[in-house]
Structures are given as structure tokens and as C-alpha cells.
A and B are shown apart, each in its own frame.
Chain A
Amino acid sequence: MNRNSLNRYLTYKVRSGFAVLFFLTGCLALVFLSPQTALAAGFIFRLEIPHEPSFPNNAGTKLRSFGCFSAYDGTPLNCGFSLTVTGLKSPANDIANNGGHVHDANRPLVLNRGKLEYLADQDPARLSVRGTTLGTPPLIYAEVTHKLPEVSGKIETVATVTTPYGWVCAGGCFTRTSWRKIITYDVGIRGLVKLPGPLNTENPATAAGDYIKVRGGTDTHPEGSFGTPFALDALKNIAKKYKKARGRALSINDMSLPKGGLFDYRATWKPDHNTHRRGKDGDINQDGLRCLPDKDLREAIDAVIKPPSKGKTRLHCESGGRKHIDLEPF
């Protein structure tokens, strides 16, 4: 058992009323070494798992709890704590970390560029909060909520707990009087797959035999053609039928970023594509034919993903001619 897990174990035991047994066995030495020993604890009610993907939307809220207890008898102590969002996990140019956004200025790390939410002492500039662990009675811990952004990527936070004056840390310590942990939130959708295309770009020289063409990457979003396996299957089948009907490959534009989430194709961190977040939407290039008269496309979509007796439309058009397919499973 490492120090960290021991720490959590101790916290649980203390709160469960086994403090006496614990002190008689495990912490006797510490007690002798230091007349006033504190135990700083990370998570009491909810154990956060680093790298756990989180759905990037308004509901993506992470709750962190801070508690601090005496190693003698489990009495809650009023320790200091802080939580700081430090930024994107390094290296930031790795697509696994940046979620497919290669335009990092002003990247939102909290929903809508908001703040961490805590009762007091907020520091919007640093995306940081600090306070003490004893809340309003009977609360014996402090809670901080981190509303995750709609943008995918790996966000790092640093949590620190410091002992009250005269106490020292008993386990999993960062310094003699503090405990610290770096936690990464992997914000994104799991399981999106890249739509295969010739060289991931439209290449007239090789595209003659293809039934599907895929958008070229942009500087700010080099990988924008990811989707769920179902969506990709559907799109391929639609493209095959379209090729037979029209004699041309289906030219696919934006789908989703590698980890989904907000797809700001204008690189503004605003929802330019309101959908395209879950790998279930695809834009089709006009390729010389506007949306409304493209009946071959309509028929291909109908044949492959005919809406059930109740359901929404699958293909919709923009008055300017753009085409959009909803590829959600039926």
C-alpha cells in the first residue's frame, strides 16, 4: 500500500469510527515522533480517477472534496487547501493532449471561461481557489466544483492541503506540512475513430476509384474527421450507394475532432458547429451540387439509415447549399 492509498484508507477508517484500532497499530510511531501529527486527506466522498474521460458539456462537472483529520482520534481539523487549474497537459502540441485544437490562446479550461466554484477566495486570473477544510457545521470538509469546458483535451489541476499551525503531515506528504496531488482530467469522448480517406485529403489524382473523399486538415484543426464506428459504417455505406447513383465519390467535410467536444472551425472557442461534438454528424461538400436537388444523396441516406416510424430527419440543408447528415444510430 503506497502512501497515498494508505492516506485514503486512514481517512476512511477514521471517519468510520475505527480510529482507536488504527492508532494502536499503524501510527503509534508517528505519535511518538511528533506530539501533534495531522493527516491531510484528498477525497472523502468521491475518488477521482486521473485520465478518466469526461463528457465535454455543461453536465461535465467534477467535484473535489478536501478534508483534514487528526491522526490521534479522527477529529476534523481546519487545514488550508488550494486547487489550481494549471493548464493543458504537456506537450500541448500532442493531439492526445490538445484534443485536436492547435490554437491554444485563451483555451477555456473551465466551462465558458468561468471559474472554479467555491465559497470564497476565488482567483479568476489563475483559475485557482483556496480556503479551509472545515465548512459550515456539520460539514467537515470543503468542496470545490470544476465545471469542465466543452472543449476536449487533458486539463491538469494541482490540489494542495496544508496543516494548521503546529501539525505535520502523516502520510502521502508533499512537504512536512503539506500534501499535494496533480490530477489530469481527460475531457473527451471515448471510442471515436478516424474516417479513412486517401491521404486524409482530397487528391484528384487518386480519388477516381474512391467512393469517399475526406476533408483536408486545417491549421487549427488538422484532424476533423472522427466519428463513432457506427457513424463511419453508415457514412461508408451511404458513400457506396452515392457513388453507384451519381458516379462520384461522396466528399466528406467536418465530422468531429479526435475526442469530440466543441468543434470551433473558426478557431474562436465558440460553437461554430453547434453539433459535431459526439462523432455522429457529418458535413457533405457540395461538390458541384447543392443540397436540395441532390436526390441521389437523399435516397442513399434513406436506404442506409431510414428513420424509424418515429424519429428525426437525417439530412438537412442550408439555404446556401451546405449538406449535413445526422448519423446517430436508429
Chain B
Amino acid sequence: MYRTTWMPVHSKEKFIGKIFSLLVIVVINLSTSLTAMAVGLIPVPTLKNVTTQASATYDPVKQWYSYHYSVDNPATNTGEIWDIKVDISRRFIGGSVRLNPNGLTIPLGATTSTFIEELADYKPPLGFPLNQSVISIGQRVPAGWAGGFGRDGYAGFHTRSNVAGIVPSANLGGFVLISPGLPTIRKMQIIPDWMLVVPNLDEVTEAEKQQAGDIERKIIFHTHTLGPAGVTNFGGFSHWNLLRDDIEKAVTLGWVPDTALAGTIRTKLAFARKALDAQDGTLAKSRLQTLLATMQAVTPGQKIRREAYDLIVLNIQSLLKHTANTPIPFEPAYSLTPPTSTLSLGKRQTLIARAFNVAFNNAPIPSEFFEARITEGPHIGMSWFLQTDANGEAPFSYVGKKVGKDHIIISRPLGLLKKKPVMLAFTGNLNTLAAGGLCWADHHWVEGRREPFWRKPR
């Protein structure tokens, strides 16, 4: 049993006590921050004033954008850059991608993998955070470096084992992201080489691990760069909105130092947008052409940085290509058939995802991208990236290898759900479109419980 004793304290003593407590707190905070910079045997590096350059190009055949990066590490730094990360995250339900990932590859070091294979590794409980995924990307790297992406939503370029990074006063280019994603402004992290190294692993304390975690975050150099956007309805309102917002951000970041040019860009884009809002796509594109001419008359350099130039020009070109002359009523709907099925083990089940426009005679929607994913059941985690054909259909199949009942959903991002803006706003970014149930039996046919397989997007 513990006994506590209390005694009265004079108010003056109380005041002195408070002052003393504050001093103690200040001293503790100071000492904490100092010790946080001194944990382990490796000195904490400095990494400041790193300069990065980015440019983007478009391949009309493959319909890919290539984002080229170079990084300059000033001589005043002590940190050697070993990891360069670019944000490729996207808000999304279903852990999926919309942009066509086919053909995109990632050099991982000893091997090269496809984006699809890499994405398949991220399954619960080690999947992406809720409502988040990554945009389809491929990568190219300079010699001695490797690529990849992580569940934090960043694509990374890192030096391989036993290879030096970008030392102070050095510059290195050749980092390339390839993606169907349109240019936008993205976060970038430049990370110097540092680790918690201790004399004896078995004596590391939780406090030291925490301090090391703090250091790992503090030494990162944060900046912005060009990177692929998550917008999928090229020429749609969200694409127009993104360009408008990105121009504002580029000006804020100092990417358009010439204020007159910045004003012209803003004005001309707003003028074109006005026509689009009036349902006149032809006029909107005509006005965009004048903005494009303005841009092409400028040389990237003092008035506008290469990043801003490529951002604006490539997006305008995409808007010119994809904005419809006359808007057509568009309300997409989706189905997945068969709704339920019961098969014996080892049999192949073929399913068909369909996309059609309910606002226009249920016309099939070609070239739509889906992801089909098994969200529950023995084959959980299997997924397929699909594109509808001219009939608006995208078949896919798999063989049942385990007994049980699979639930399959097809999903896509919100961008195309144009006709239900209120419902979209209400439901956030709900994206489940259709679901089916498959039941695999090991010996004989069994009756599968019927599942609701279809509902309209909310």
C-alpha cells in the first residue's frame, strides 16, 4: 500500500514552483531536441538547398508521359542522397488504378517487374491505406540505381546496395517516371543516407528508435516537381479544374516568375473555361488554341520554368484532343455477369464486365478501364486490369483453386460519373460498381447463396 502525504504550500512558493517547472520543461525540450540529433554512431547529415529539375514529354503512340528528373546536391551539404521519391498517390476506393498499366515496367535492381505485378504485392493488412492507391507508372533509372514504389504512395529511385549516391557537389539525371497520367504538381522527397547504427543491437531502447524515426523524417528535403496526375477523364471538368489549380500552384511556387505571363495564362484559361461551362466545347478549344500559341511563343527560362511550361502545354494539348465539341448526355453504368455461379474445383469461370451509357440508349462505352478484384473469399487479392472493347465488354476469367466463396467487385474512379454530382459529393468517393459471387466446391455441385451483385453507383 502506498501512502501519500499532503502539506499546504505558500502561494509564493507555488509561484516559484511553477517558474521552476516551466524552466524544467524548457530544459527537457531543449535536451530532447539535442539528443534527438545525436542518436547512434552515424553523424546526422545536413541536406539543404537541393535543386531539382523536371521536364515532361508525351509519346502519342503509347499515350505515355515521361517525366525526367535531375538532382543537384550542393557542396555545402554533408548528406549523400540515396533515395528520391515522387508522390504518385491517388485517392481512391478499392486500391486500384484506372490508367492503363499495361506495358509499364519497373527496374527493381536484379530484376525488372511490371507495375501490375508490383501492385499485386500490396494486399491487406499490408495494402495501401484506405481510399488510397497509386497511379500506374513505369520507371527508368541511371546506372547503379533501382526503382519501385511503396505503400506510402511514393515512387522511389534509390541507389543499389554498395553503390554511392549523389554526394555533395554532384549532380545526377536519368531518373524517369513513365505514366499515362497527365502532368500535375507533385510532392518530392530527397533523402540523405543515414541510419541508426549502434554498438549492440540488443541494447537499443524504444526511445532511441523513436529518436531515430524523428531524425529520419527531419533530414528529408521536401520540394515539388512534375509528376503524373490521377485525373482519368481527359478533357472533362476535373481535368480543366486540375490545370487551373496547378497553374495557381505553379505561380505560388515561383515557377512562373513573370507576373504578366502568369496573368495572361490565368485569363486565357478562364476565358476558355467560360465557353465550356456554356456547353460550347468548340469555342472552348478555339480559345485554348490561343493560350497554346501564347505558351509556344515563350521559351522556358527566366519567364517560366521548364516544369510550368511542360505542365501547361501538355495539359492544353490533351484538353484540345479530348474535350468534346458537343457534350453528349453521359451517365455510365456497369454490370458484372454472371451474378452467381457454382463450379467444381479446377474449373475456369469467365466473367464479363460491361460499361454502358444509360443516358444515351444504353450505348456501350468502349475503352473503359476497370479493375476487377476479389475482395473476399479463398482467392482474395486476385485482380485484373480490364479495358472494354467496342461492345463495351471486358471479359476475364480465373480457375478456382480453393474451396469457398469469392466476392468480386469491379471498380473505377469517380471522374466519369458526371450526371450525379450531388450523390457523388454525398458519398465521397465510393466506387463499388458491381459485385458477383462465385462458389467453388471441392467434390460436387453445391448450391450457391444468391448475392446482390449489382447496384448503381452512389
Contact = CB atoms under 8 A, between A and B. Distances in A.
A318 B197 contact: yes
B150 interface: yes
Contacts of A244: 108-111, 113
Q: Tell me which of A273, A302, A305, A315 has the highest count of chain B C-beta atoms within 10 A of its own C-beta.
A: A302
A86 interface: no
A248 B109 CA distance: 11
Contacts of B204: 274-275, 316, 324
Interface string A299-318: 10011111101111101111
A247 interface: yes
Interface stretch (B30-38, B212-220, B303-311): B212-220
A307 B158 CA distance: 17
Contacts of B109: 244-247, 296
A275 to B, nearest CB: 7
Interface stretch (A102-110, A118-126, A286-294): A286-294
A251 interface: no
B41 A319 contact: yes
A283 to B, nearest CB: 8
B317 interface: no
A240 interface: yes
B83 A299 contact: yes
B162 A245 contact: no
B437 interface: no
A307 to B, nearest CB: 6
Contacts of A289: 161-162
A210 interface: no
Interface in A241-288: 241, 243-248, 271-275, 283
A315 B195 contact: yes
Given A233-B126, A313-B209, A316-B212, A245 B150 contact: no
A303 B149 contact: yes
A165 B65 CA distance: 95
B159 A318 contact: no
B203 interface: yes
A312 B212 contact: yes
A305 B163 CA distance: 23
Interface string B29-54: 00000000000111000000000000
A15 interface: no
Contacts of B380: none
A303 B150 contact: yes
Interface residues of A, number: 48
A65 to B, nearest CB: 16
Given A303-B150, A304-B150, A306-B150, A319 B161 contact: no
Contacts of A296: 109, 146, 160-161
B197 A241 contact: no
Contacts of A247: 109-111
Nearest to B111: A244
B274 interface: no
A293 B82 CA distance: 11
Contacts of A295: 82, 158-161, 163
Given A295-B82, A329-B125, A245 B146 contact: yes
Given A241-B148, A319-B198, A302 B156 contact: yes
Contacts, number: 132
B195 A309 contact: no
A272 B200 CA distance: 10
Nearest to B85: A302
A234 B40 CA distance: 25
Nearest to B110: A247
A283 B202 CA distance: 11
A89 interface: no
Contacts of A248: 110
B162 A292 contact: no
Contact of A274 (B159, B199, B202): B202
Interface string B141-163: 00000101111100010111111
A64 interface: no
A275 B217 CA distance: 24
B260 interface: no
A312 B217 contact: no
Contacts of B197: 291-292, 316-319
Nearest to B124: A233
B161 A291 contact: no
A188 B399 CA distance: 42
A322 interface: yes
B151 A306 contact: yes
Given A304-B126, A316-B209, A299 B148 contact: yes
A291 B204 CA distance: 16
A247 B109 CA distance: 8
Contacts of A272: 202
B206 interface: yes
11 contacts: A240-B121, A245-B110, A245-B146, A292-B197, A296-B109, A302-B152, A311-B210, A312-B212, A313-B216, A316-B197, A329-B125
- 9 closest cross-chain pairs (CB), A and B: A247-B110, A303-B150, A245-B109, A312-B209, A313-B212, A316-B196, A312-B213, A306-B152, A244-B108
Interface of B: 40-42, 82-83, 108-111, 113, 121, 125-126, 146, 148-152, 156, 158-163, 195-204, 206, 209-210, 212-213, 216-217
Given A271-B202, A317-B196, 18 more contacts: A234-B126, A240-B121, A245-B111, A247-B109, A272-B202, A289-B162, A296-B146, A297-B161, A299-B148, A302-B83, A302-B150, A303-B151, A305-B151, A312-B209, A313-B213, A313-B216, A316-B201, A317-B195
